[in-house]
Chain A
Amino acid sequence: MVEVGRHPNIELITLGEILKVDGEPGNFTATIKKKPRYVDETKCIACGECVKKCPKKVPDPYNAGLIKRKAIYVQYEQAVPLKYAIDPEHCLKLTKDKCGNCEEACPTGAIDYGQKEEILEINIGAVILSSGFTPFNPSEYDNYQYSSFKNVVTAMEFERILSAAGPTQGEILTIEKEPKHPKKIAWLQCVGSRDINRAKNEYCSSVCCMYAIKESLIAKEHLGKDFEPSIFFMDIRAHGKDFEKYYERAKKEGVRFIRSRVHTISEDPKTETLRIGYLTESGKVEKEDFDMIVLSVGMTANASARQVADNLGIKLNRYNFVKTDDLMPVSTSRDGIYTAGVMQGCKDIPQSIVEASAAACYAGMKLADARGDLVKEKKFPVENSIKDQSPRIGIFVCNCGANIGGIADVKSIVEYAKTLPNVEYVTENLFTCSQDTQTNMSEIIKENKLNRIVVAACTPRTHEPLFQETLRNAGLNPYLFEMANIRNQCTWVHSKEKEKATAKAKELVKMAAARASLLEAIPDISVNVGNKALAVGGGVSGITAALSLASQGFFTTIVEKSDKLGGAAKHIAKTSNQEDVQTFLADIIEKANNHPNVEVLLNAEVTDASGFVGNFETNIIHNGEEKTLSHGIGIIATGGDATDTEEYLYGKDARVTKWNDFEKAFDKADNPQNIVFIQCVGSRDENRPYCSRVCCTSSVMKALDVKKKFPNTNVFILYRDIRTYGEKERLYKEAREAGVIFIKYDLENKPIVTSGKKYLEVKVFDPILQTNLLIEADLINLATAIAPSDNKKLAAAYKLSVNEDNFFMEAHAKLRPVDFTTDGVFVCGIAHYPKPIEESIAQAMAAASRATIILSKSSIRISPLVSSVDKEKCIGCGLCVEVCSFAAIILEDVEGKGLRAKNIEASCKGCGLCAASCPQKAIDMLHFKEKQIFASIQAAA
């Protein structure tokens, strides 16, 4: 977030509303209404003095209305921009012309009650819509009793209750006069989702099963072993990467899962205990008491989405989400306008982030010829060398308004700091971070020839980059800077012990100054970038990524192991929205074969690779010949396929098929009596504890096809949970309406298939009828697990990790879903996890977008905080090479010395493992050298 706020090429327009977009793709004019903030952003330094004086309390929407805030506010501590705003609906000055306290309190004169609404016009080439969603509001539906009973809360409210920064500081308490720790909490699933009767939302919201499990686990963590969480559900939809394991963990940790339909919620008026009445799977009526009920509310289209859509002339789908095609994900009905995230439909964070990057990729493709035209770069003065200078430390102690100054004795800290070694200059500021203080600081550094700077203030987490920039403006290397955290780690925690806080602040300043004396200037590192790309795997994902890069001018080689492009998609007829996959596939294959910037190598495989971001060398075998490819980035798209099985007579009886082989068998069948689909064959068990994600939808679609051709054929789907997540739920509903029979089975009680002459006999226990059924099936189709290709060689070549199920492991499951920890290599498609075509396409575009960040530059700057090896001390034992997870240290032959460790700066993440492992202490981490760290520890002693 801070990165966005500080980016020189991102301009934030807050309190803005888009009125219209005129023009054509490549050259639009957007008209934006900017509402007044009543606070001058350039002057506000976020000291919070105004809030203390504001008399007007308002319910806080950030904390789901659970507590109050003032009429002048920031949404939360870490808000970007960290600038206060006045809520014009509640401000006494703006509504009644009374008060005016904040104007008096503001030390910088930032308050401006006279600000007016502005109309802005901006010129742009493309638009991305990502306005999110609205949580379902249960208050209009009396069956949930949300408005009647206090202890019925929504999941959003419960998130705030769990949060350490929330209204109860993370303590879970019931909402009543004498709040207590709840012993039993129930989560009710599908509130406002999968519900055509009341809420009229037929789709599944995709995320609520998982967040309910998460909330129940965290609640359990907080409340201990006597706490009993229960989840009332229809199907648990844990269809994402590593979700199934999370679900299994919850079961083990004592979360109760009750497959049921809840019919009433009532309250004992005396004890305020809540009672849930429900129907079990077998139709039994039950009731149970709870202290609290959390409604797992779904997501609905943003009310303003409709407005935006109208204003911009784009189409919405039947659920009021922005309409896109499966085979052109994130593209709206208007050329040049893209969409991402829940505005397009319900999805979780990783998938939303994937779409965000995919939308950026589309925009980049559209505007490729204008890349670089409008960006600005920050310019800094030439850096002064401090070589051979003795340390001259400047210390700036911040009052942070009353945050520090109101507790610690800042004057005495300043006097103390003056007595420390090497200190030349000490001053205090009311707010060190304010714009004018920063300008001032830069002057002071130059005037006093300071060469090390210490700021004693809030926290480096939010403010270090700002101060480092000030150093650069003054001609100093940014690493000659140290911060003493005397607010977050001192005055905030010791607000009641003023003297101790002052003493601790002095110690912290002493430590920082001791370390600062030893800080060294560290030059920037930049590496040149080769602008060619490599895609490993020629399925939908690999081809899509290659075409996206090629159209932006980056030459891409596709290395495909088999003798054909297309991969798993070759056997798929249509997407879940009935779009024709084969025509699409033929089209992209033809484009790849004919694009001047795409080279297709069939019968080719990667053998090994070396190098680092911007500079990879990959060896391949192509038609038996060895070749070397030089490339700047790599995209891993090796996909996967349906596994075979030994179960259910597969391979022994030709009437048992798997996946899309069913179509051939079915084509030959003449008016069959009974057809059975068995789900989760080899998925979600001990060997493969994951859900293959696409099979429920695939079988439901096949079942519908059967019903269409032979309405009288009985179709059975034997399942464990039906996971037609998101808008695919509609297919499930259609299948039930068409008479497809769904029978749930358990892992402990799997169906049994035996081969008869005329029929295959399927025995399965029906939990609704509570009896064994015998089905005489003509055909059985198995949804076997989807497993990744054999990825070991590739993983070793580029130092990539795979998870326990052999899918490639991304850098961060949520926030970096296509990056690897190895810079310059990206993952997409089934190589990452099983997913439907539309998600593979989006992820391939996302990978291309991330790759473009590198390929669009001739050189990239990397963090210079890396390891450095002292070749004199090194004995070449190679321990460091072994511990490094990033292949950032190698052994090289040094003449006359033998093997010596060598660091590869571009690959080094600065983790320090190598330094810690070296028996010779031959490795030091720049900026965190042993002597620097010890200096501050010794100062504290």
Chain B
Amino acid sequence: MSRKKEQKNIGAVMVAGGGIVGMQSALDLADSGFYVYLVEKSSSIGGAMARLDKTFPTNDCAM
């Protein structure tokens, strides 16, 4: 740690954007000992992928 201050770091992370990427970051962090605030602009999480029918190359369901 190159920072000079003595104060301890804060064990929480803010993830901005609740699409598939934000959800993955949030889960990794929350599962490894951090508190996560997941901030999403719209009324629910899910983002673009929830809108796709099936996804390449496995053609399985996007949900």
Are the CB atoms of A849 and B32 closer together than 8 Å? Answer: yes
Are the CB atoms of A160 and B51 closer together than 8 Å? Answer: yes
Query: How far is B39's CA from A79's CA once the two chains are assembled, in angstroms?
Result: 15
Are the CB atoms of B34 and A367 closer together than 8 Å? Answer: yes
Query: How far is B43's CA from A37's CA once the two chains are assembled, in angstroms?
Result: 8
Query: How far is B48's CA from A133's CA once the two chains are assembled, in angstroms?
Result: 9
> Contacts of B10 on A, CB cut-off 8 Å?
26-28, 123-125, 367, 370, 373-374
Question: How far is the CB of B8 from the nearest CB of chain A, in Å?
Answer: 6
- Quick one: CB contact mask for A1-36 with B, threshold 8 Å, 1 for yes? 101110101111111111001001111101010000
> Contacts of A17 on B, CB cut-off 8 Å?
39, 41
Query: How far is B52's CA from A814's CA once the two chains are assembled, in angstroms?
Result: 14
Are the CB atoms of B34 and A9 closer together than 8 Å? Answer: yes
Are the CB atoms of A849 and B28 closer together than 8 Å? Answer: yes
> Contacts of A364 on B, CB cut-off 8 Å?
28-29, 32, 34
Are the CB atoms of A125 and B11 closer together than 8 Å? Answer: yes
> Contacts of A159 on B, CB cut-off 8 Å?
51-53
Question: How far is the CB of A811 from the nearest CB of chain B, in Å?
Answer: 12
> Contacts of A214 on B, CB cut-off 8 Å?
54-57, 59
Contacts known (A26-B9, A242-B57); A128 close to B33, Cβ less than 8 A: no
- Quick one: CB contact mask for A41-67 with B, threshold 8 Å, 1 for yes? 000000000000000000000101000
> Contacts of A739 on B, CB cut-off 8 Å?
none
Query: How far is B17's CA from A131's CA once the two chains are assembled, in angstroms?
Result: 4
Question: How far is the CB of A660 from the nearest CB of chain B, in Å?
Answer: 30
Contact of B8 among A352, A355, A369 (CB under 8 A): A369
Query: How far is B38's CA from A30's CA once the two chains are assembled, in angstroms?
Result: 12
Are the CB atoms of B14 and A128 closer together than 8 Å? Answer: yes
**CB closest residue in chain A, given B63:** A78
Contacts known (A4-B38, A81-B44); A130 close to B25, Cβ less than 8 A: yes
Contact of A9 among B36, B45, B50 (CB under 8 A): B36
A156 within 8 A of B: yes
Are the CB atoms of A132 and B19 closer together than 8 Å? Answer: yes
A353 within 8 A of B: yes
B-contacting 9-mer, from A720-728, A850-858, A928-936: A850-858
Are the CB atoms of B32 and A246 closer together than 8 Å? Answer: no
Are the CB atoms of B41 and A16 closer together than 8 Å? Answer: yes
Query: How far is B29's CA from A9's CA once the two chains are assembled, in angstroms?
Result: 9
Question: How far is the CB of B49 from the nearest CB of chain A, in Å?
Answer: 7
> Contacts of A308 on B, CB cut-off 8 Å?
16
- Quick one: CB contact mask for A124-149 with B, threshold 8 Å, 1 for yes? 11111111110000000000000000
Residues on A close to B: CB < 8 A?
A: 1, 3-5, 7, 9-18, 21, 24-28, 30, 32, 37, 62, 64, 73-76, 78-83, 85, 122-133, 156, 159-160, 162-164, 166, 170, 210-211, 213-214, 217-218, 240-243, 245-246, 304, 308, 340-343, 348-349, 352-353, 355-357, 359-361, 363-364, 366-367, 369-376, 812-814, 849-850, 852-853, 856
Given A162-B53, A343-B21, 18 additional A-B pairs, CB 8 A: A10-B36, A12-B18, A15-B41, A24-B3, A25-B3, A81-B44, A122-B37, A124-B14, A124-B37, A128-B14, A156-B51, A159-B51, A214-B56, A361-B28, A363-B25, A371-B33, A814-B60, A853-B32
